[in-house]
Amino acid sequence: MTTATTVRRGLFGMFAGGLLAFGSAAIIAPVASAQPAPGPAPAPDCSASSVAGTVSTAAASEGAYLTANPQTNEALTQISAEPQPQAKQAYMAYFAENPQVEQQLKAIHEPVSALKDRCGLTVSPTPVAQAVWSTDDQAPEVPVTPAPGAPMAPMEPEMPTA
């Protein structure tokens, strides 16, 4: 009889242990899979490293685009060499004649434009980007800000226009 009693006690112990294990799992499982309440949207990354990465990516993409399109590269290079007032008009005329180029360059510089709007920063990676932004009614002309510690080139005095 001791053997039957031992077997019954063992089975009862396993059954009781199983109930405890499954009971606690049934209680803990919904809590473990619960998601926290959604918090506020994360703040935009306006760090210097993020800005530098975004600007350098856009400039590299612009360079690749211009290399792949030599006629556009030549035209924009010639326009960039002109004095600022003439260059601005020449860019506007070129983009009016070549709207697909303007759209492609705007798409390349969209991350930088979004970063400017989101973070309230003043950035201008290239003269072409500045020209693309100035064709937008919403994007004013943005001055190029030199890097801290970079040597400053002498500026030419602006000539008054008559």
**Structural domain contains residue 8:** no
Is residue 7 included in any domain, yes or no?
no
Residue 112 has a CB neighbour count (10 Å cut-off) of 24
The three-class DSSP label of residue 88 is: helix
- Whether residue 58 is contained in a domain is answered as yes
Residue that has been written with the tokens 């606690």 in this structure: 24
Q: 92: Cβ–Cβ under 8 A, 6 or more apart, which residues?
A: 131, 134, 135
C-alpha–C-alpha distance, residues 78 and 68, integer Å? 17
Average pLDDT over residues 117-133: 78
Amino acid in position 131: A
Identity of residue 58: A
How many CB atoms are located within 10 Å of the residue 140 CB?
10
| pLDDT of the residue at 119 | 87
* Average predicted confidence (pLDDT) for the chain: 74
Residue 143 lies in a domain: no
**Residue 75: what pLDDT?**
94
Of 121, 77, 143, 71, which Cα lies nearest the Cα of 100? Answer: 71
Q: Which two tokens stand for residue 69?
A: 């399109």
State residue 136's pLDDT score: 61
Q: Is residue 34 part of a domain?
A: no
116 belongs to a structural domain: yes
> How many domains in the chain?
1
What is the reported pTM?
A: 0.55
Q: What is the pLDDT of residues 37-64, one digit of tens each?
A: 665 555 668 888 888 888 889 989 999 9
108 within domain boundaries = yes
State which residues form the domain around 66: 48-134
**pLDDT at position 130, please?**
77
Higher pLDDT, 103 or 29: 103
| pLDDT score for 49 | 86
